[in-house]
Amino acid sequence: MYRSHTCGELNISDVNKEVTLAGWVQTIRKFGSITFVDLRDRYGITQLLFGEELNKQLDETPLGREFVLQVKGKVNERSNKNKNIPTGEIEILVSSFFYSE
């Protein structure tokens, strides 16, 4: 399956769902052993959270802006909510990913 949802449709009612998203990397923010990525498609933006284990993979093969990315993961409630976007109350805890430049 290419994707189960678009980047603009997930919200707080989807917490704990397993999802697959695909889109373009908009921003990358590294904070020690975790990395946040904003993934966008034509429908919106969703924040991704790469934990410590996947962060090591990102160090070996780093992402770049506008890379095409497919992720699988679980919808989590964000601790720091962003009321400016429809998906601002959730983030995806990434369990696996695939990308191309």
- Convert the pLDDT of each residue in 40-62 to its tens digit: 999 999 999 999 999 989 989 89
**CA atoms within a 13 Å half-sphere pointing along the CA-CB vector of 73:** 25
Kindly tell me if the per-residue pLDDT of 72 is higher than 90.
yes
Kindly tell me if the per-residue pLDDT of 101 is higher than 80.
no
CA angle 7, 95, 68 (to 5 degrees): 45
Summarised one tens digit per residue, pLDDT across range 11-27 is: 999 999 999 999 999 99
Residue 1 is predicted with a pLDDT of 72
Average pLDDT taken over every residue of the chain = 95
CATH topology of domain 12-100: OB fold (Dihydrolipoamide Acetyltransferase, E2P) (2.40.50)
